[in-house]
Amino acid sequence: MNKTTLHYIYDPLCGWCYGASPLIEIADAHPNIILELHGGGMLAGASRLHMDSQFREHIQQSDKRIAAMTGQIFGDDYLKMLNEPNLVLDSAPPLLAILAASKQDSAFAMLKASQHAHYVLGLHISDPNVLSNIAKKIGLDIQQYQHDYAQQEATALDEHIHHSRQLLDQSGSSGFPTLLIKQENKWLRVPLHNYLGDVDKWQQFLDTLVAANN
C-alpha cells in the first residue's frame, strides 16, 4: 500500500494546534501515513507576543472554547504563567527544538512534549534550557540534540518558516492549524475542525483517506 503524506502547518504556541494534538498524534501513528511538520512561526521574530491584559483575556477565552470542544487540559500552572508580569511568548525556540529533534526522527514527540510542558505544566518553552530538559525526557541523545539546535539556529529557522508560510498561502489557508494533502498537483485541506474531540471518527476518516489514495 502506498503511504499518504499529510502536511501539518502548526505553531507550538497555538492553542488550537494544542486542541488538535490528539488528532495529529493518531495521524502520526498511522502505519500508512507520513506526517510532515511545517512550523509557521506564528509568534516568532517580530511577532513575539508581549503579554498584556487584552491579549491575556483573548487567550483565556479562546482556551475555554478549545477545552470545551476538544477535552484538552489547560493546567493551573499554565493559567498562573499567563499572569506573570512581562511574559513574552516566543515560538522560535520550540520550533528550533522541533527541527533539531527531527534529526533523530522525533519531531512530533518534541512538539507534543513541548505543548504539554506549556499548556499543562506552565513551563517556559521559549527557554532553551527548558527545551533541553524536554529533549532528555523524550529520550533524545542530548549532545546531538544540542548540536543540531545550534545548527538550526544558525541556518535554517527563517527558511523553514518562510517555506511553511508559502505552503499556507498556496493552499488558500490562513491560520493554524492547517492540515494538507497534495493530490494531482493541488493542495487540499483536510478538515481537522470537523473532528476535534472525536478521535474515533477521525481514525475512520484517515483510514478512508488512505484507502482512497491507493
DSSP per residue, 96-164: HHHHHHHTTT-HHHHHHHHHHHHHTT---TTSHHHHHHHHHHTT--HHHHHHHHHHHHHHTHHHHHHHH
DSSP 8-state assignment for residue 45: G
pLDDT score for 173: 87
How many Cα atoms within 13 Å fall on the side-chain side of residue 56?
15
Rg (CA), the chain: 17
Sheet containing 178-183, strands listed edge to edge, beginning at the edge strand earlier in sequence: 33-39, 4-10, 178-183, 186-190
> Nearest-CA neighbor of 159 among 53, 70, 39?
39
Instruction: Summarize pLDDT for 132-159 with one digit per residue, the tens.
Output: 999 999 999 999 999 999 988 767 899 9
Grid cell for residue 83: 499572569
Q: With a cut of 50, list the residues of the chain below it in pLDDT.
A: none
pLDDT score for 174: 80
pLDDT score for 20: 98
> Nearest-CA neighbor of 95 among 178, 159, 28, 50?
159
pLDDT score for 101: 98
Alpha-carbon span 2 to 32, nearest angstrom: 7
- How are beta strands 4-10 and 178-183 bridged, if at all? antiparallel
pLDDT score for 149: 96
pLDDT score for 167: 95
Cis peptide bond N-terminal to 85, omega within 30: no
Longest Cα–Cα distance of the chain, Å, equals 53
pLDDT score for 28: 97
- What is the CATH code for 4-207? 3.40.30.10
